[in-house]
Amino acid sequence: MTAITRLVNISVLAAALAMFVPATALAQAQEREGFWFGFGLGVGSAHATCDDCGDDDDDRETGGAGSLRAGWTLNSRVLLGIEGSAWTKTEKEDGADITINMYNVSGTVTLYPSETAGFFMKGGAGLAFVNSKYEEGNTTVDSDMGSGLGLLAGVGYDFRLGRRVRLTPALDAYYGNIGDVKFGDETLATGWKQNVVALTIGLTFP
């Protein structure tokens, strides 16, 4: 079994988030107009399958997660944007640090069912990527291992902190159909598919 297969097939650790938001903040109308951007950081659960991996749908791995997004407000209920989502995990293997990264870069549409409330749903499509970094002593080897179709879906809520800033917890799921995963010219796995469920909290402007 290759190192990458072992890294992406370990048990999941769920994350919980608790926060207090004053009632006055919830009561304020949401203002959505013009250019917007935001970011989030948190935790994600990843799972990968391939043709020869001995797939087990119950095996997942927990790592750090984050997102970076920006776009334009079409109207008070619809936002168009581009979002980059990432999951990362580092483990030691035979004395070396091996980092696995899973990315999605998607064009997105975000829908707010209410013009005055902060709840939103989003969906998008684009490209998914997987890469690795091998570090041992003074030796570092980065490898782009493959890319393919990527899909994104999520929900969240904007808690207004001020006229031009919102606190945004979000739950996102992103998927990638990579196909062949390679290290240099060597094929490590075929039929590679990956998915991440991520819980993040961040800020959105304005």
Structure pTM?
0.81
Q: What is the pLDDT of residues 165-189, one digit of tens each?
A: 999 999 999 999 999 999 888 898 9
For the chain, what is the total number of helices (H) and then of strands (E)?
2, 9
Phi, psi of 99 (to 5 degrees): -110, 130
Q: What is the pLDDT of residue 127?
A: 98
Q: Which domains does the chain have, with CATH numbers?
A: 3-12+32-205 (2.40.160.20)
Owner of token pair 């997942």: 60
Q: What is the pLDDT of residues 125-142, one digit of tens each?
A: 999 999 999 898 889 989
202 token code pair: 């961040």
Q: What is the pLDDT of residue 8?
A: 42
Q: What is the pLDDT of residues 46-88, one digit of tens each?
A: 999 999 887 555 689 999 999 999 999 999 999 999 999 999 9
Instruction: Read off the DSSP letter of residue 58.
Output: T
Owner of token pair 């991996």: 53
